[in-house]
């Protein structure tokens, strides 16, 4: 079992607890934490689907590559310049580059992979090869 550490108390004891751990990084430069979006991988009878949660991006921000049965999904979006006259007291919206790679099984037909982006979810459809499609369960009667 992993140890559990409590990070918040009823009465904050330090500035770190009150303002959040990124207080000083906000004043002294952008925070450079790595961000990796969450994914769901769904298998159906004739395909796999990878759903990547990436709100705030557009379909042009993504790059999807297939190389030696490894599918790589990446994105790099630059910060927009701040408007003149606006000063951020705290800035938590941001987009860090990310890259996720997935080893594909031999059953995937790499030539027919498709992707779409809607409502903050990138969906990559990975059709199975015809010979890999699971046949419907059939019970054989003994005569």
In a domain, 120, yes or no: yes
pLDDT for res 92: 72
Output the domain CATH number for residue 57.
2.60.40.790
In a domain, 115, yes or no: yes
Rounded mean pLDDT for each run of 10 residues along the chain, 143 residues in total: 47 46 44 74 93 90 93 82 72 80 92 95 93 72 81
Provide the terminal-to-terminal Cα distance of the chain, rounded to the nearest Å.
Answer: 54
Cβ–Cβ under 8 Å, residues 51 and 116: no
pLDDT for res 78: 67
What DSSP string runs through 90-118? Answer: --------EEEEEEPPTTB-GGG-EEEEE
Q: Provide the domain count of the chain.
A: 1
């Amino acid at each position: 079992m992993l140890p559990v550490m409590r990070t918040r108390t009823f009465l904050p004891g330090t500035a770190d607890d009150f303002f959040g751990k990124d207080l000083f990084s906000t004043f002294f430069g952008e925070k450079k934490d790595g961000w990796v979006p969450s994914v769901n991988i769904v298998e159906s009878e004739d395909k796999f689907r990878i759903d990547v949660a990436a709100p705030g991006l557009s379909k042009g921000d993504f790059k999807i590559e297939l190389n030696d049965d490894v599918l790589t999904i990446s994105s790099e979006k630059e910060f927009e310049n701040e408007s003149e006259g606006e000063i951020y007291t705290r800035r938590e919206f941001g987009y860090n580059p990310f890259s996720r790679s997935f080893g594909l099984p031999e059953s995937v037909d790499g030539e027919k992979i498709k992707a779409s982006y809607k409502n903050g979810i990138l969906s990559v459809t990975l059709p199975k090869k015809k010979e890999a499609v699971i046949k419907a369960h059939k019970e054989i009667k003994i005569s």
